[in-house]
């Protein structure tokens, strides 16, 4: 958890450091990010894509060459197979293979002449040897090295195992057969096929055909894969049938093919990374392999890379120059405007932005000029108001004696009334004196709830003296709330409305109940009367009236034709404490009206919610 908090703090610190950078550097960084980074990303993507496409094209091209090489090799092998079939169908050959007792020298000569015809017509054939199951053989060019039976040779046993299927067995290594021309093993590729008895399906002989390797090398030697890549042919037993003279690898282990799941694999040979792509011919069972180094890029790829890198260089060069130019053109007027603001902050309000730019910076500069004009105007207006305020304070000081004179006069009337026994008059005068005393409250706007209740009590006593038994009232206050500060004179306008619009209009006596209590951490004062109540449509108008924008108080008061007292109380509460404080009205026609005054409990004035 601590590591996470540390990471968050570090991230916030880095962000704050970035926010503190000059706007010029931010603009440069932004332009570089939106111009150079995408270009670099595009260049990398192009290079990777081109490499992948060229790699795929190289693989496809190599497979096509391998396919063509396989077709050429298959055509030679197919020709050898056809020759073996023609040889096995010859009657003289059948007699040699089946009726060995009637075999004569003249018959052998005709068979040799027959075999010589194939080697004459097909120059790629080096020699043909025909051998029966007893080890007797006839050939036009080949003969045994010693008296050891040729039926014990590997190639003979391979032919017997395949039972009439022609197979290419690779170079004639370590066999007891040689040729008059004395070909080396590397110059020949041998193919064998067993000849079967059509009735018993037993092997009665074998045809051995030697193919000159040059026909394969002439097909494959001109195939180039990159600079040093080439094609090579591997036999079924894993021996190399053909490889160029300067091959990168002379023998490919058979387990490499077993490890690869596809027709391609890579290996490091003598410190060089080589790519191998191969395909096996189902007809000859031989495998043609393309060997090349993937690091040898073709000229087209190098040209593409050159163009891409040149493009990135130009873009980066242009992006850096353009970012510096644009950042300077954008940050210079901002820095100039910032200098003007610093001078204005220091007190020089005569400074002005000069420029004809039509962009946001020009608009900001003109707004700055307008702001300075308004500040000068407000300063002049403030000086005038201060002067008027001092004059008003002077007049207030001059009239300060009037409240004291009023208190003294009311005390004199009270004393004279009691002296003459007019106690009811004395009580009204005393209530009026108390009403004035609390109402003036030395000019303070906030008084305690106890003083506000005392003030409304004095007001109700005066109204009681007027309406006699028509008006009754009851005041209940939680003693714990008496020290709460409230705006003075919030009850008098509400109670006055209850008397004149509720109690006065009903028949018989009425009662006004005033209750103060705490609700959800706030002070709630309920003024309830059992007067005539308010009609529903009028009640909706009054509620709308109490929610009026106080910038249009006079207009709303004339529209709703209602007294100023309730609206003034609502305005004073809203302006002092804000929402949700204020007056809330509920009424039922014929049963009375309740006004809820919601105020903060022990909350300082001017502290908005």
Which has the higher per-residue pLDDT, 257 or 83? 83
Q: How wide is the angle at C-alpha 327 spanned by C-alphas 325 and 330, nearest 5°?
A: 110
Arithmetic mean of pLDDT, 197-216: 84
CA nearest neighbour of 157 among 148, 146, 169:
169
pLDDT at residue 608 in the model: 41
Taking each helix axis from N to C end, the angle separating 23-89 and 91-98, rounded to the nearest 10 degrees, works out to 80
pLDDT of residue 431: 66
CA 53 distance to own-chain centroid:
29
Confidence (pLDDT) at 5: 61
Give the tens place of pLDDT for each residue, 141-186: 888 888 888 888 888 888 888 888 888 888 888 788 888 777 787 7
What confidence category does residue 547 fall into, taking pLDDT thresholds of 50, 70 and 90? confident
pLDDT, residue 436, reads 63
pLDDT of residue 609: 42
Instruction: Give the pLDDT score at 584.
Output: 92
pLDDT value of residue 444: 67
With a pLDDT cut of 70, the percent of the chain lying above it is 76
Chain position carrying tokens 């068979």: 111
Return d(Cα 33, Cα 46) in angstroms, integer.
19
Q: Which of 176-180, 240-244, 439-443 has the lowest mean pLDDT?
A: 439-443
Asked which of 147-161, 428-442, 456-470, 488-502 is least confident by mean pLDDT, the reply is 428-442
Residue of higher predicted confidence among 485 and 232: 485
Share of the chain above pLDDT 90, in %: 7
Q: Across all residues in the chain, what is the average pLDDT? A: 77
Which stretches does DSSP call E strand in 297-420? none
SS3 readout for 468-506? HHHEEEEEEECHHHCCCEEECCCCHHHHHHHHHHHHCCC
Between CA 367 and CA 374, with CA 372 as vertex, the angle to 5 degrees is 90
Tell me what pLDDT residue 396 has.
46
With a cut of 60, say whether residue 13 has pLDDT above it. no
Q: In the prediction, which pLDDT does 199 show?
A: 81
pLDDT for residue 346:
81
Residue 295 in this model has a pLDDT that exceeds 50: yes
- Write down the pLDDT at residue 470: 87
Residue 526: per-residue pLDDT:
95
591, 533 contact by CB (below 8 A) = yes
Q: Give the whole-angstrom CA distance, residue 340 versus residue 349.
A: 9
CB 236 within 8 A of CB 167: yes
- What is the average pLDDT across 552-569? 60
* pLDDT (tens digit per residue) in 308-328: 777 777 777 777 777 777 766
Q: How far apart are the first and last CA of the chain?
A: 35
What is the model's pLDDT at position 493? 87
What pLDDT does 426 receive? Answer: 63
Average pLDDT over residues 250-272: 78
Closest CA relative to residue 254, chosen from 292, 283, 287: 287
More confident residue, 416 or 335: 335
- In the sheet that holds 471-477, the strands lie side by side as 471-477, 510-519, 522-529, 592-600, 582-588
Q: Which residue has the higher pLDDT, 568 or 29?
A: 568
**Bridge partners, 189 (sequence order):** 211
pLDDT value at residue 456: 86
Write out pLDDT tens, residues 19-77: 565 666 666 676 667 766 777 777 777 777 776 776 677 777 777 777 777 787 778 78
Does 101 score more than 80 pLDDT? no
Q: Give the pLDDT score at 168.
A: 81
- Can you tell me the mean pLDDT for 556-581? 73
- The Cα 220–Cα 242 span in angstroms is 9
Check pLDDT > 70 for residue 422. Answer: no
Q: How many residues does the chain have?
A: 609
What is the rounded CA–CA span in Å between residue 184 and residue 282?
28
Q: Is a pLDDT exceeding 80 seen at residue 78? A: yes
Higher pLDDT, 13 or 136: 136
70 touches 281 (CB < 8 A): yes
Instruction: Indicate if the pLDDT at residue 589 is higher than 50.
Output: yes
Residue 130 has pLDDT above 80, yes or no: yes
Q: Which helix (H) or strand (E) holds 253?
A: none
Highest mean predicted confidence (pLDDT) among 233-237, 382-386, 570-574: 570-574
Give the confidence band of 442 by pLDDT, cuts at 50, 70, 90: low
Which element (helix H / strand E) includes 115?
helix 105-121
What three-state secondary structure class fits 104? coil
Q: What is the mean pLDDT of residues 468-482?
A: 89
pLDDT higher than threshold 80 for residue 374: yes
Q: How many CA atoms lie within 13 A of 520 on its CB side?
A: 4
State residue 334's pLDDT score: 76
pLDDT of residue 583: 92
Residue 528 has a pLDDT of: 95
* 267: pLDDT strictly greater than 90: no
d(CA 510, CA 420): 33
Give the side-chain half-sphere CA count within 13 A for 572. 17
Query: In angstroms, what is the C-alpha Rg of the chain?
Result: 59
> Is residue 34 within 8 Å of 330, Cβ to Cβ?
no
For helices 23-89 and 299-345, the axis angle rounded to 10 degrees is 170
Across residues 209-222, what is the average pLDDT? 78
**More reliable by pLDDT, 586 or 183:** 586
What pTM was estimated for this model as a whole?
0.44
Residue 177: beta bridge partners?
144
Low-confidence winner among 267-271, 282-286, 455-459, 518-522 (lowest mean pLDDT)? 282-286
Query: What's the pLDDT band for 399 if we cut at 50, 70, 90?
Result: very low
């Amino acid at each position: 958890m601590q590591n996470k908090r540390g990471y968050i703090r570090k991230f916030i610190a880095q962000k704050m450091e970035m926010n503190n950078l000059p706007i010029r550097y931010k603009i440069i960084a932004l332009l570089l990010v939106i111009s150079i980074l995408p270009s670099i990303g595009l260049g990398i993507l192009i290079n990777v894509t081109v490499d992948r496409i060229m790699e795929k094209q190289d693989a496809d091209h190599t497979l096509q060459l391998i396919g063509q090489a396989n077709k050429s090799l298959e055509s030679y092998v197919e020709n050898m197979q056809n020759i073996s079939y023609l040889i096995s169908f010859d009657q003289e050959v059948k007699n040699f293979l089946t009726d060995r007792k009637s075999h004569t020298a003249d018959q052998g000569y005709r068979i040799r002449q027959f075999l010589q015809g194939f080697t004459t017509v097909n120059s790629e054939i080096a020699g043909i040897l025909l051998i029966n199951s007893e080890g007797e053989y006839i050939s036009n060019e080949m003969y045994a090295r010693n008296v050891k039976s040729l039926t014990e040779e590997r190639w003979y046993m391979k032919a017997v195992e395949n039972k009439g299927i022609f197979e290419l067995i690779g170079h004639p290594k370590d066999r007891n057969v040689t040729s008059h021309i004395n070909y080396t093993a590397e110059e020949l590729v041998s193919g064998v096929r067993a000849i079967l008895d059509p009735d018993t399906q037993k092997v009665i002989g074998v045809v051995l055909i030697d193919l000159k390797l040059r026909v394969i090398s002439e097909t494959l030697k001109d195939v180039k894969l990159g600079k040093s890549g080439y094609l090579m042919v591997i036999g079924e037993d894993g021996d190399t049938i053909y490889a160029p003279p300067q091959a990168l690898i002379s023998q490919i282990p058979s387990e490499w093919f077993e490890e690869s799941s596809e027709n391609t694999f890579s290996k490091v040979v003598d410190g060089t990374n080589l790519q191998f792509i191969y395909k096996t011919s189902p007809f000859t069972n031989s495998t043609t392999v393309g060997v090349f180094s993937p690091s040898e890029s073709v000229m087209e790829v190098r040209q593409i890379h050159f163009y891409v890198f040149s493009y990135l260089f130009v873009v980066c060069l242009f992006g850096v120059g353009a970012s510096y130019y644009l950042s300077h053109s954008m940050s210079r007027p901002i820095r100039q405007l910032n200098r003007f603001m610093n001078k204005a902050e220091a007190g020089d309000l005569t400074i002005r932005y000069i420029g004809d730019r039509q962009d946001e910076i020009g608009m900001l500069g003109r707004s700055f000029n307008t702001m300075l004009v308004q500040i000068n105007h407000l300063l002049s207006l403030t000086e005038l108001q201060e002067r008027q305020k001092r004059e008003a304070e002077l007049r207030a000081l001059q009239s300060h004696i009037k409240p004291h004179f009023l208190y003294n006069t009311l005390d004199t009337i009270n004393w004279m009334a009691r002296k003459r026994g007019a106690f009811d008059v004395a009580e009204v005068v005393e209530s009026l004196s108390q009403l004035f005393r609390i109402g003036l409250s030395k000019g303070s706007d906030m008084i305690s709830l106890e003083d506000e209740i005392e003030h409304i009590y004095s007001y109700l006593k005066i109204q009681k003296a007027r309406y006699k038994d028509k008006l009754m009232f009851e005041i209940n206050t939680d003693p714990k709330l008496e020290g709460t500060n409230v705006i003075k004179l919030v009850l008098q306008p509400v109670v006055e409305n209850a008397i004149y619009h509720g109690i006065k209009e009903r028949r018989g006596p009425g009662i006004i109940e005033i209750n103060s209590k705490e609700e959800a951490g706030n002070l709630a004062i309920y003024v309830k009367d059992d007067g005539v109540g308010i009609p529903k449509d009028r009640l909706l108008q009054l509620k709308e009236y109490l929610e009026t924008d106080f910038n249009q108080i006079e207009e709303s008061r004339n529209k709703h034709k209602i007294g100023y007292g309730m609206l003034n109380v609502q305005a004073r509460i809203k302006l002092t404490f804000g929402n949700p404080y204020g007056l809330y009205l509920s009424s039922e026609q014929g049963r009375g009206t309740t006004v809820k005054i919601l105020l903060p409990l022990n909350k300082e004035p001017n502290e908005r919610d």
